[in-house]
């Protein structure tokens, strides 16, 4: 027959303790992974959107340059009223070049500003190395940003070009008096992409279907082309901003994209998806390793506990059982080689003497313990204890750990004080601490008990009999607070006059009728009755026996409702 030994119980208990932690952590990790993943995706998309806003801001600023040039008075004068002298014309042209250069460098991007005069087949540019060509004088006017390739110095340069004509309705350069053009090289974009990347594990680039993409300086062209092949024809069907997961090179990648409102191009960034969740995965795996180590250590600790505790306890229990059955010759011959050896030695000595003491000393101890136990039990209100324990059970079932801890702590402090019988005189501070624990317990149970304790510090060291305040506070809750659905307030204050120390316990409940209040005060002088109650009568009489006939309880109806119970006793220092 299978038997749950202490060792097996401990191992099972440890496993049951670790299993909920493991399950909760797994659920928490999965939830955290999802939250962090979404947060990282949102952050990546926000950063990409911010970069695109920077790009669009620069491009929008460049878009305004041709407009500003078309309204410049020097340029207008140069176009409309040509100076008669070649020398003056050359000076005006130099002045325009200087203005174009200043306008060009006002933007952080490297750009060229050009004024094209088709009828004269000439161009004035901020770039002194610009070569005039027939293509500059003919062809359509690029009123939208246009991507173009130009051969320069044996290599192909890539530009974005934007033009406006004069007059504005002109669609081709041949029909325009002048064309104002701004262009910038894609190297500006590459520099911004490099600054955005800055050693991170991502790879941003600019892309539009049908054109060669603009990559960052360290981009993987092969992966970019592969990704473009997957996105070809798909982005136009999607919102202008979004994210998706794609597989590149057998690995999942998170792709984020934002469309430029100025160029119509897409700013695309992709990063290995595994790198996003790697920190969480590593943390989860580390936790599992720690749980495994804890389980191994727990089993090892259980074995040591079994070897060093359970076996000696088993020997002790067996010997005790023999003595219980009347075999007073029971001895323990086991050596635990630890602190249990002393206990075993003392047990053997006890066994030697127990036959001599069993009829007198041991029996007397049993009677004494029984009397002490009854005295302690008489001080415990079973209904209060049952209700508190049921509250702990209910809170535990609802996983309200804080409530369980608070109730258990206050209940422990309450009964530790209430069952202590060695000293019948205590400081007022200790009585107030007991009341505070009691009120905390009641507030946890009912949820509608408020209290305030304000006693002068000089009164805290005053001595009085044990359990004087708690019965009065209990009556205030039962007859005052519990009768109100909204709950109530218990106020405890202290005061001294020339003759008495006084503690006031007030509630804001319904109070009492004046006649009932007078009857209650009169009944305190009579023998204890059910109307007065054991607690109230006992407190009143104990105060009188200890401090004299002028001490005791005084009941008073409060003007705003509620009852005030005054606990007063004569001052010993007067």
Domain locations in the chain as residue ranges: 71-185, 190-276, 467-570
Give SS3 for 461. coil
Confidence of residue 505 (pLDDT cuts 50, 70, 90): very high
Residue 469 is encoded by which pair of tokens?
Answer: 């305040």
The whole-model pTM stands at 0.47
Tell me which CATH code domain 190-276 carries: 3.30.450
Residue 233 is encoded by which pair of tokens?
Answer: 């024809």
Q: pLDDT digits over 379-423, tens only?
A: 445 656 767 777 778 778 888 788 778 778 877 777 777 766 566
Give SS3 for 183. strand
Q: Is pLDDT above 50 for 378?
A: no
pLDDT at 87 (0 to 100) = 47
Q: Which residues contact 217 (CB under 8 A, 6 or more apart)?
A: 190, 193, 194
Do 264 and 206 touch, CB atoms closer than 8 A?
Answer: no
What mean pLDDT is predicted for residues 515-522?
83
Tell me if the domain spanning 71-185 has CATH number 3.40.50.
Answer: no
Helix (H) or strand (E) holding 455: none
C-alpha to C-alpha distance for 550 and 172, rounded to whole angstroms? 116
Residues belonging to the chain: 574
Query: Which of 293-307, 460-474, 500-514 has the lowest average pLDDT?
Result: 293-307
pLDDT at 456 (0 to 100) = 92
Distance of CA 275 to the CA centre of its chain: 25
In this structure, the strands spanning 178-185 and 111-117 are antiparallel
Q: pLDDT digits over 411-449, tens only?
A: 777 777 776 656 677 888 988 998 898 888 888 887 788
Give SS3 for 332. coil
3-state DSSP of 395-449: HHHCCCHHHHHHHHHHHHHHHHHHCCCCCCEEEHHHHHHHHHHHHHHHHHHHCCE
Helix (H) or strand (E) holding 151: strand 146-152
Do 500 and 574 touch, CB atoms closer than 8 A?
Answer: no
521-527: which pairs have CB atoms within 8 A and are 24 or more residues apart? 521/554, 521/555, 524/552, 524/553
Cα–Cα distances in angstroms (integers) from residue 441 to residues 390, 392, 409, 413, in the given order: 12, 11, 9, 11
What mean pLDDT is predicted for residues 277-282?
74
Residue 344 is encoded by which pair of tokens?
Answer: 């075993």
Q: pLDDT digits over 31-79, tens only?
A: 877 787 788 788 888 888 998 999 989 888 888 888 888 888 878 877 7
Selecting from 3.30.565.10, 3.40.50.720, 3.40.710.10, 3.40.190.10, what CATH number does the domain 467-570 have?
Answer: 3.30.565.10
Instruction: Count the alpha carbons within 13 Å of 427 in the hemisphere toward its beta carbon.
Output: 9
Residue 214, phi then psi, degrees to nearest 5: -100, 110
Q: Do domains 71-185 and 190-276 have the same CATH topology?
A: yes
Helix-then-strand count for the chain, H and E:
16, 17
Do 500 and 568 touch, CB atoms closer than 8 A?
Answer: yes
Nearest Cα to Cα of residue 158 among 105, 208, 199: 208
C-alpha to C-alpha distance for 283 and 319, rounded to whole angstroms? 51
Q: pLDDT digits over 120-168, tens only?
A: 788 888 887 765 554 577 888 888 888 888 776 667 788 899 988 888 8
């Amino acid at each position: 027959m299978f038997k749950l030994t202490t060792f097996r119980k401990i191992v099972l208990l440890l496993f049951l303790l670790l299993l909920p932690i493991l399950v909760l952590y797994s659920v928490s990790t999965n939830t955290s992974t999802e939250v962090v993943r979404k947060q990282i995706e949102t952050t990546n998309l926000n950063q990409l959107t911010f970069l695109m806003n920077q790009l669009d801001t620069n491009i929008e600023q460049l878009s305004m340059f041709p407009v500003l040039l078309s309204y410049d008075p020097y340029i207008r004068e140069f176009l409309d009223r040509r100076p008669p002298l070649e020398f003056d014309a050359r000076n005006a042209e130099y002045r325009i070049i200087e203005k174009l250069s200043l306008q060009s460098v006002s933007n952080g991007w490297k750009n060229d500003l050009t004024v094209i005069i088709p009828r004269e087949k000439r161009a004035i540019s901020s770039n002194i190395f610009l070569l005039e060509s027939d293509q500059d004088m003919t062809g359509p006017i690029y009123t939208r940003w246009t991507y173009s390739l130009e051969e320069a110095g044996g290599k192909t340069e890539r530009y974005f070009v934007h033009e406006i004509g004069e007059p504005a309705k002109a669609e081709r350069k041949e029909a325009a008096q002048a064309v104002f053009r701004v262009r910038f090289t894609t190297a500006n974009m590459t520099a911004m992409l490099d600054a955005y990347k800055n050693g991170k594990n991502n790879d941003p680039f600019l892309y539009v279907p049908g054109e060669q993409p603009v990559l960052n300086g360290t981009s993987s062209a092969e992966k970019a082309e592969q990704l473009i092949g997957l996105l070809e024809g798909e982005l136009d069907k999607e919102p202008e901003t979004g994210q998706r997961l794609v597989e590149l090179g057998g690995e999942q990648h998170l792709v984020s994209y934002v469309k430029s409102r100025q160029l119509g191009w897409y700013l695309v960034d992709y990063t290995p998806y595994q790198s996003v969740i790697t920190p969480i995965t590593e943390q989860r795996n580390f936790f599992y390793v720690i749980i495994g180590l804890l389980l191994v250590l727990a089993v090892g600790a259980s074995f040591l506990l079994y070897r060093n505790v359970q076996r000696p306890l088993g020997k002790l229990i067996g010997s005790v059982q023999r003595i219980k059955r009347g075999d007073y010759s029971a001895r323990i011959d086991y050596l635990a080689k630890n602190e249990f050896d002393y206990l075993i030695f003392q047990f053997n000595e006890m066994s030697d003497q127990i036959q001599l003491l069993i009829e007198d000393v041991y029996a007397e101890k049993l009677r004494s313990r029984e009397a002490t136990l009854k005295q302690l039990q008489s001080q415990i209100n079973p209904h209060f204890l049952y209700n508190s324990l049921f509250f702990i059970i209910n809170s535990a079932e609802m996983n309200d750990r804080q409530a369980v801890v608070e109730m258990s702590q206050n209940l422990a402090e309450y009964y530790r004080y209430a069952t202590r019988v060695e000293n019948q005189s205590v400081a007022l501070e200790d009585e107030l601490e007991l009341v505070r624990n009691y009120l905390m317990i009641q507030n946890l149970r009912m949820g509608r008990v408020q209290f305030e304790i304000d006693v002068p510090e000089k009164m805290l060291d005053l001595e009085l009999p044990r359990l004087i305040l708690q019965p009065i506070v209990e009556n205030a809750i039962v007859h005052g607070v519990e009768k109100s659905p909204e709950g109530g307030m218990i106020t405890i204050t202290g005061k001294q006059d020339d003759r008495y120390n006084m503690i006031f316990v007030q509630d804001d409940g319904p109070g009492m009728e004046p006649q009932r209040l007078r009857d209650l005060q009169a009944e305190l002088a009579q023998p204890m009755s059910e109307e007065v109650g054991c607690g109230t009568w006992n407190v009143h009489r104990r105060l009188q026996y200890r401090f004299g006939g002028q001490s005791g309880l005084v009941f008073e109806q409060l003007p705003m409702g509620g009852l005030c119970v005054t606990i007063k006793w004569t001052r010993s220092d007067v």
